[in-house]
Amino acid sequence: MGKLDNCCGNGKQSVLCICLLLSVGLLAVVPRDAEGYIGACTKELNPDSCIVPACQAECFTSHKGWGHCAHSSLDGIFHCVCYYPCPHDP
């Protein structure tokens, strides 16, 4: 392995190297759009019914989020709820 052996070594150095590589890998995966957002918001898109494909499509189109059918124990109806990144207020 040559250079990798010199970088990571044994024992504690290996653990440190693995943590460093994982951190760099995770940073590369974070979408750039996420930089201006904090937390997650929810919005009820349809209080009367929920069809999963339509709910997901509407949520993604309107908020770049994930639509989910949530059951209300109060009225027994499934509602379309959208989970999306909250805009960060400057």
For 25-59, the pLDDT digits (tens) are: 444 444 545 555 567 899 999 989 999 999 999 99
Q: Residue 43: what pLDDT?
A: 93
Q: How many CB atoms lie within 10 A of CB 65?
A: 21
Measure Cα distances from 27 to 20, 38, 80 in Å.
Answer: 11, 16, 32
The ranges assigned to domains in the chain are 1-30, 34-90
Please tell me the predicted confidence (pLDDT) of residue 89. Answer: 58
pTM of the complete model: 0.53
pLDDT band at residue 67 under the 50/70/90 scheme: very high
Topology (CATH level 3) of domain 34-90: Defensin A-like (3.30.30)
Lowest mean per-residue pLDDT among 30-34, 49-53, 69-73, 77-81: 30-34
